[in-house]
Amino acid sequence: MKLAGRVALVTGANRGIGAALVDALLARDAAKVYAGARDPASLAEARRRHGERLVPVQLDVTSDSDRQAVTARCRDLDILVSNAGLAPAGPVLGTDEATCRETFEVNVFGPFALLRQLAPMLRERRGGVLFINSLTGLVVSRSSPVYGASKAAARMLILGVRQELRGEGVVVTTSHPGFVDTGMAERIPYPKATPEEVAERSLNGLEAEATVVFPDRLAEMVEQALMNRAAEVLGEPQSLMTELVDKLRDAQ
């Protein structure tokens, strides 16, 4: 599907990968991008750069009133880019219940409630959905396993959504980035992809109507491991990831 002339909504659009996705969509001649953020004022600089083609909207994906307001406003929507996320660090048993529930609200329940509300117009306009997931949705994270669990849950729901929408002309693409140079990963001491690289390659996948995108070098290494070393991915994923990260670091 072509992005030129289309109207998109990006969640978590005020920083990191979200901000890069907004820039990349507009660079590809999207007609308009609704940029969702909890605080639309945080998009003021992006609005100055892009003018009227960028429309800041208040959107906390966990807020039903925000979701309803966005659905009512974005009646011309072609593409949903689901990017907003929360990534707490810490072991599973050491993470309190409130944090676990908040993580799933932000990464799973909120995004799918929003998609449920937007699905009729995406069907009508034969549009697309791009989910920014994570490698942690495929291979367990040593530092953020609760985040990984939420991304794994989201991945399974995405597969279900893809099957539901496949016959209705709606493209559903999932991107699984590794370490990305954003505030979310600032404490991770390993080589990182840029948000711009992840945004560009993720959108390439959507335009190509790919089902899955591995948008950086570490992600590509995990893709190869999934194909060639499935037993290790399933049985010893942390050891495998340590090996792959070491190889990535040595190659820098």
pLDDT band at residue 185 using 50, 70 and 90 as cut-offs: low
Backbone torsion region of residue 5, taken as left when φ is above 0, otherwise alpha when ψ lies between -120 and 50, otherwise beta: left
**Residue 237 predicted with pLDDT over 90:** no
Per-residue pLDDT of 17-45, as tens digits, reads 999 999 999 999 999 999 999 999 999 99
Query: Residue 44, SS3?
Result: helix
Q: Is 32 helix (H, G, I), strand (E, B) or coil?
A: strand
Write down all domains in the chain, each with its CATH number in brackets.
7-216 (3.40.50.720)
Three-state secondary-structure class, residue 85 = coil
Does residue 249 register a pLDDT over 90?
no
**What's the CA gap between 190 and 205, in Å, rounded?**
25
What is the pLDDT of the chain when averaged over all its residues?
Answer: 94
Q: Name the more confident of 237 and 67.
A: 67
182, 140 Cβ separation under 8 angstroms: no
Tokens of 191: 């080589």
Provide the angle, in degrees to the nearest 10, between the axes of the packed helices 145-165 and 110-124: 20
pLDDT at 215 over 90: yes
Radius of gyration of the chain (CA): 18
DSSP annotation of 138 reads T
Tens digit of each residue's pLDDT (9 = 90 or more) over 155-173: 999 999 999 998 899 999 9
What CA–CA distance (Å, rounded) separates 68 from 137?
A: 28
Residues 240 and 232 sit within 8 Å (Cβ to Cβ): yes
**How confident is residue 186, by pLDDT bands cut at 50, 70 and 90?**
low
Supply the DSSP symbol for 200. H
Q: β-pairing, 7-10 with 32-37?
A: parallel
* Contact of 157 with 150, CB cutoff 8 Å: no
Q: Which residue has the tokens 């089902």?
A: 211
Q: What is the pLDDT of residue 189?
A: 67
pLDDT per residue over 44-103, tens digit each? 999 999 999 999 999 999 999 999 999 999 999 999 999 999 999 999 999 999 999 999
Q: Which residues contact 180 (CB under 8 A, 6 or more apart)?
A: 16, 17, 192, 193, 194, 195, 198, 216
What pLDDT score was predicted for residue 154? 97
Specify the pLDDT at position 174.
Answer: 97
Q: Does pTM top 0.85 for this prediction?
A: yes
